[in-house]
């Protein structure tokens, strides 16, 4: 036996082939590079991921999600052939059968109801090439106005605010390397320690250099524990908090009058409004002591440099645009922008949340951050695409509004890529029922997600390890992601799937690509002259320079690493816009029936709707179900104990979760993460009230009632009656 084992080992060692390839993590907007190691033996294959020590951006670091990013790719749950629903069951079919079936369905629907009867729902995890092609596919192959994407729920408030204030929407106005240069850093509604862990070393370095960090969050988190000052506002009161800080900055003279005069518009109106603000009222609205607000304002106002960051905690509200505008006001009023260590950053959530919103996935946008309602912009894109401008459809509606249109019968079909709207949408039960009843639902996915389970046709796509393309990280740095292996079975890259569908719909002339590089070359032309100008960026340059910052209009010129260095903004007059931002009452206030505010968010071990991380054993083991984080005083008042079950009611739905009692949250607020589906889907409770400017739903504040599950157990009389009825049914 020992001889056999020795022989076995010798064969194994002799024929083992090891390879290492570089690619990128599929998760957050840091887009860390990683090394994918494959070891093939005659008897098995082994895969591991390690950080790339030569990555100067994240300095050779990766988080727990990134280190496990390969695991769900090799699960047996991968969909590897098209699946067609017949008589309630999915059966594998050939691509030819799937595409011909889809061709008939699309043509029948559009013949009966018009081009706009089909909608397209994209995602922020698509590459730049795929996102660009998806917008073209919707408008040229399907000729529909209805296209939007899940980034509507991620970055739309910050995008609108940046465009309004600066004339440009780029996640960060500065490179990450500027963070250690800041003397004060405001982190508003962002839990970087769990959502972008490899960004944390920049913050720690800033602290080591003497920076003061101010965290604004209703909860205590790994991020707030690193901060010097932690302000815990009531959810939805961020604008009021900033008004209080602006009042201190203006009245105590910390504003930069020269910068304001030379580079901004709107000072008189804004400052006049701020002078009417009463600090006692701000304290009452936010639940933060007045002295703490004054302290934070003085620290930021007096600092010689400073950076302000916002994320979903500030943005996912029915007035998220206004919240972000006020945080941008802080940077503009103090002149802390356009300089090393001074600027604003929206901490992008998804892998390609930045690039995904620049080139055509949004309902009102064309490539290069152009407007679909601008005649000149339409002509430019129509020329690049080789069609008449009159063939371009008009503006569509936002992601959630597409669901409402479908419920009203205006949409008869939807094609979903790189997204799981059944879990990620607000009022998720409504969305699930809408998609279930659609005459046509096509889902392009890796797995049988909650949304895919409702589909009529599922098309298998390639993972991040299996396709080439570019992504744009939170800095606005365009980066290359390389394929390290072919897709399994009959799975195809998303761009190929879109092209195949376009071809069967008669659009061979306008969809002629041999790969992602061909698409990127067209994207460069389409973006030329736009705000998000990629025309000076090429694949070879990206590799050579470890990424290129946009805007970049010249192959020979450097990208724009730091915006506004010359004090010139992207509005026609070159000036930034200040705005007065009144506090607005949340659309759903607490009352005697629903007395507690629910807020939601992410956990370290999961990502978005959890489709991939719930299929990663090492991550799933750390967080197998959502839990209710609740303050001890609130728990005692509601008769809830740690580890017990609680029932959470909103005006839309009810779910049950386990209780986790913690002093890390305000007494009037509870928190649940949103990474689970079905009966664990917290978004069944959340509010679909939309921001009037960007159509962001109000995920971060809805009124709920909470009770112990035991409290609603049937009475003895009810239980006896139920047992009698059950016994009768068996007779």
Nearest to 171 by CA among 193, 153, 182, 156: 156
Q: Same structural domain for residues 497 and 400?
A: yes
DSSP 331-387: HHHTT-SSBTTBEEEE---STTTTGGGTTT-STTEETTTEETT-HHHHHHHHHHHTS
Q: Same structural domain for residues 408 and 357?
A: yes
Task: Please tell me the distance from the alpha carbon of residue 312 to that of residue 647, in angstroms, as a whole number.
Answer: 25
Residue 82 neighbours by CB distance under 10 Å: 25
Structure tokens given for 227: 């901060």
Q: Same structural domain for residues 163 and 146?
A: no
- The answer to whether the beta carbons of residues 337 and 300 sit under 8 Å apart is no
Structure tokens given for 255: 């504003």
Nearest to 652 by CA among 714, 598, 610: 598
For 348-370, the pLDDT digits (tens) are 999 999 999 999 999 999 999 99
Structure tokens given for 550: 């946009």
Beta strand pairing call for 645-649 and 118-122: unpaired
Residue 577 resides in a domain: no
Grouping H, G, I as helix, E, B as strand and the rest as coil, residue 696 is: coil
Helix (H) or strand (E) holding 407: helix 399-407
The DSSP output letter for 492 is B
Three state DSSP letters for 585-649: CCCCCCCCCCCEEEEEECCCCCCCCCCCHHHCHHHHCCCCCCEEEECHHHHHHCCCCCCCEEEEE
Q: Which domain holds residue 617?
A: 596-712
Grouping H, G, I as helix, E, B as strand and the rest as coil, residue 50 is: strand
Q: Same structural domain for residues 245 and 388?
A: no
Residue 623 resides in a domain: yes
Nearest to 131 by CA among 561, 522, 690: 522
DSSP 202-264: HHHHHHHTT-EEEEE-SB--TTGGG-SEEE-PPTT-HHHHHHHHHHHHHHTT-S-HHHHHHHE
Query: Which domain-ending residue is among 11, 37, 69?
Result: 69
Task: Please tell me the distance from the alpha carbon of residue 105 to that of residue 565, in angstroms, as a whole number.
Answer: 53
Residue 567 resides in a domain: no
For 279-332, the pLDDT digits (tens) are 999 999 999 999 999 999 999 999 999 999 999 999 999 999 999 999 999 999
Paired residues of 492 in beta bridges: 461
Task: Please tell me the distance from the alpha carbon of residue 57 to that of residue 181, in angstroms, as a whole number.
Answer: 16
Alpha carbon of 337 to those of 16, 287, 587: distances in Å? 55, 30, 33
- The answer to whether the beta carbons of residues 176 and 426 sit under 8 Å apart is no
Residue 47 resides in a domain: yes
∠ CA 496-27-61, rounded to 5°: 125
Residue 544 resides in a domain: no
Number of domains in the chain: 4
Task: Please tell me the distance from the alpha carbon of residue 482 to that of residue 24, in angstroms, as a whole number.
Answer: 8
Q: Same structural domain for residues 620 and 702?
A: yes
Q: Which residues contact 226 (CB under 8 A, 6 or more apart)?
A: 193, 200, 203, 204, 207, 213, 215
- Strands of 469-472's sheet in order across: 469-472, 477-481, 548-549
∠ CA 704-149-483, rounded to 5°: 120
Q: Report the CATH number that the domain containing residue 405 is assigned in CATH.
A: 3.40.50.740
Nearest to 705 by CA among 596, 587, 628: 596
- The answer to whether the beta carbons of residues 294 and 608 sit under 8 Å apart is no
Residue 51 resides in a domain: yes
Residue 552 resides in a domain: no
Q: Same structural domain for residues 164 and 313?
A: yes
Q: Same structural domain for residues 181 and 265?
A: yes
- The answer to whether the beta carbons of residues 574 and 561 sit under 8 Å apart is no
The pLDDT assigned to 17 comes to 73
Nearest to 119 by CA among 422, 494, 416: 416
CB-based burial label for 578 (10 Å; 0-12, 13-18, 19+): buried
Residue 637 resides in a domain: yes
Measured between its terminal Cα atoms, the distance across the chain in Å is 63
Q: Same structural domain for residues 220 and 362?
A: no
Give this prediction's pTM: 0.93
Q: Same structural domain for residues 164 and 148?
A: no
Q: Same structural domain for residues 149 and 162?
A: no
The pLDDT assigned to 11 comes to 64
- The answer to whether the beta carbons of residues 465 and 528 sit under 8 Å apart is no
The number of residues making up the chain comes to 731
Q: Same structural domain for residues 389 and 521?
A: yes
- The answer to whether the beta carbons of residues 660 and 673 sit under 8 Å apart is no
Q: Report the CATH number that the domain containing residue 688 is assigned in CATH.
A: 2.40.40.20
Question: Angle between the 399-407 and 428-437 helix axes, to the nearest 10 degrees?
Answer: 50
> Which residue ranges in the chain fall short of pLDDT 50?
712-720, 722-723, 725-731
Task: Please tell me the distance from the alpha carbon of residue 681 to that of residue 455, in angstroms, as a whole number.
Answer: 19
Alpha carbon of 712 to those of 589, 598, 645, 715: distances in Å? 25, 21, 11, 9
Query: Which domain-ending residue is among 45, 69, 93?
Result: 69
Q: Same structural domain for residues 372 and 341?
A: no
DSSP 122-150: E-TTS-HHHHHHHHHIIIIIS--S-EEEG
The pLDDT assigned to 313 comes to 96
Q: Report the CATH number that the domain containing residue 253 is assigned in CATH.
A: 3.40.228.10
φ and ψ at 103, to 5 degrees? -60, -45
> Any idea which residue has 């944390």 for tokens?
200
Grouping H, G, I as helix, E, B as strand and the rest as coil, residue 690 is: strand
CB-based burial label for 208 (10 Å; 0-12, 13-18, 19+): exposed
Task: Please tell me the distance from the alpha carbon of residue 107 to that of residue 28, in angstroms, as a whole number.
Answer: 38
Query: Which domain-ending residue is among 346, 374, 401?
Result: 346
Helix (H) or strand (E) holding 64: helix 64-67
Omega before 551 within 30 of 0, i.e. cis: yes
- CA dihedral 229→235→236→242, nearest 10 degrees, is -10
């Amino acid at each position: 036996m020992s001889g056999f084992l020795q022989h076995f080992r010798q064969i194994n060692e002799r024929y083992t082939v090891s390879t290492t390839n570089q690619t990128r993590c599929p998760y957050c907007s840091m887009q860390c590079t990683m090394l994918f190691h494959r070891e093939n033996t005659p008897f098995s294959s082994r895969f591991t991921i390690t950080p790339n020590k030569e990555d100067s951006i994240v300095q050779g670091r990766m988080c727990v999600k990134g280190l496990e990013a390969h695991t769900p790719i090799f699960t047996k749950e991968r969909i590897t052939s098209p699946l067609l629903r017949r008589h309630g069951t999915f059966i594998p079919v050939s691509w030819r059968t799937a595409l011909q079936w889809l061709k008939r369905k699309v043509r029948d629907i559009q013949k009966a109801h018009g081009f706009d009867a089909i909608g397209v729902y994209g995602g922020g995890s698509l590459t730049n090439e795929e996102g660009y092609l998806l917008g073209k596919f919707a408008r040229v192959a399907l000729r529909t106005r209805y296209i939007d994407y899940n980034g509507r729920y991620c970055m739309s408030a910050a995008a609108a605010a940046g465009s309004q204030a600066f004339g440009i929407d780029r996640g960060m106005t500065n490179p990450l390397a500027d963070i250690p240069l800041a003397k004060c850093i405001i982190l508003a509604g962002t839990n970087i320690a769990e959502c972008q862990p490899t960004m944390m070393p920049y913050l720690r370095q800033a602290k080591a250099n003497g920076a003061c960090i101010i965290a604004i969050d209703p909860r205590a988190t790994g991020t707030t524990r690193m901060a010097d000052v932690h302000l815990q506002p009531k959810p939805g009161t961020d604008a009021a908090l900033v008004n209080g800080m602006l009042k201190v900055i203006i009245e105590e003279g910390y504003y930069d009058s020269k910068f304001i005069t030379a580079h901004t518009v709107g000072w008189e109106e804004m400052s006049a409004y701020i002078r009417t603000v009463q600090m006692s009222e701000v304290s009452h609205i936010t639940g933060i002591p007045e002295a703490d607000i004054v302290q934070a304002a003085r620290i930021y106002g007096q600092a010689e440099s400073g950076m302000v960051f916002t994320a979903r905690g500030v943005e996912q509200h029915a007035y998220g645009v206004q919240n972000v505008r006020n945080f941008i006001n802080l940077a503009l009023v103090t002149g802390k922008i356009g300089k090393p260590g001074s600027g604003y950053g929206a901490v992008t959530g998804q892998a390609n949340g930045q690039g995904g919103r620049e080139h055509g996935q949004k309902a009102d946008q064309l490539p290069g951050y152009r407007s679909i309602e601008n005649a000149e912009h339409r002509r430019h894109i129509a020329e690049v695409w080789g069609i008449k401008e009159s063939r371009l459809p008009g503006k569509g509606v936002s992601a959630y509004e597409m669901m409402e249109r479908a419920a009203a019968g205006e949409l008869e079909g939807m094609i979903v890529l790189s997204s799981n709207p059944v879990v990620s949408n607000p009022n998720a039960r409504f969305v699930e029922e809408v998609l279930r009843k659609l005459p046509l639902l096509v889902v392009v996915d890796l797995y049988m997600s909650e949304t895919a389970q409702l589909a009529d046709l599922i098309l298998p796509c390639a993972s991040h390890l299996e396709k080439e393309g570019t992504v744009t990280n939170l800095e606005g740095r365009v980066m290359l992601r390389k394929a390290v292996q072919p897709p399994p079975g009959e799975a195809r890259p998303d761009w190929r799937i879109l092209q195949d569908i376009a071809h069967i719909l008669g659009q061979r002339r306008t969809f002629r690509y041999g790969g992602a590089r061909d698409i990127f070359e067209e994207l460069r032309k389409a973006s030329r002259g736009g705000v998000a100008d990629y025309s000076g960026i090429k694949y070879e340059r990206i590799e050579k320079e470890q990424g290129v910052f946009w805007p970049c209009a010249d192959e020979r010129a450097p990208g724009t690493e730091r915006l506004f260095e010359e004090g010139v903004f992207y509005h026609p007059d070159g000036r930034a816009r200040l705005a007065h931002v009144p506090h607005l009452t949340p659309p759903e206030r607490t009352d005697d029936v629903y007395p507690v505010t629910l807020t939601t968010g992410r956990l370290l071990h999961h990502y978005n709707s959890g489709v991939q991380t719930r299929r990663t054993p090492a991550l799933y083991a750390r967080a197998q179900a959502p839990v209710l984080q609740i303050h001890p005083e609130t728990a005692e008042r509601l008769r809830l104990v740690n580890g017990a079950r609680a029932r959470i009611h909103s005006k839309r739905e009810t779910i049950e979760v386990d209780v986790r009692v913690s002093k890390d949250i305000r007494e009037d607020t509870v928190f649940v993460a949103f990474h689970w589906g079905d009966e664990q889907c917290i978004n069944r409770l959340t509010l679909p009230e939309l921001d009037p400017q960007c159509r962001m739903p109000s995920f971060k504040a809805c009124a709920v009632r909470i009770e112990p599950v035991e409290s609603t157990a049937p009475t003895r009389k009810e239980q006896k009656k139920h047992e009698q009825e059950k016994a009768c049914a068996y007779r």
